[in-house]
Amino acid sequence: MLGSFKVRWSNAAQGDLEGIVETIARDRPKTALKMLRTLRRRASTLNKNPHRGRRVPEFAQIKGLNIREMIISPWRLFYIVQEKVVYVLGLFDSRRDLEEVLFERLTRV
């Protein structure tokens, strides 16, 4: 499925990205800017071959849930592909338990 896909960030994923950059910027502003560029650039490469990312193993037993991931160490970029669009769903710290992170996200008020 090679070709040109659009890459779109969800509001949640955009918030994740901003949180990562803000956290790094507290101590290392230049590193934060570099990381922002790296994360954006790597995500944009999904426009050429989005199916190259593996399916998220934690969701493997859920039929019909085709969430993929790209590792941009130490983060996991979760996304789905629908027709010619790649939707970035979230950017998670791979050092944290995914179940805990998702629980926190879903129970925010």
In a domain, 95, yes or no: yes
In a domain, 1, yes or no: no
**Domain containing residue 74:** 6-106
Q: Is 64 left (phi over 0), alpha (psi -120 to 50) or beta?
A: left
In a domain, 81, yes or no: yes
CA 9 remoteness from chain centre: 9
Statement: residue 102 has pLDDT above 90: no
Query: Do 98 and 92 form a contact (C-beta atoms < 8 A)?
Result: yes
Q: Which residues pair with 91 in a beta bridge?
A: 77
In a domain, 97, yes or no: yes
**pLDDT tens-digit map of 51-80:** 999 999 888 788 878 899 999 999 999 999
User: Tell me, what CATH number does 12's domain have?
Assistant: 3.30.2310.20
Statement: residue 12 has pLDDT above 80: yes
- Residue 18's pLDDT is 96
Domain total of the chain? 1
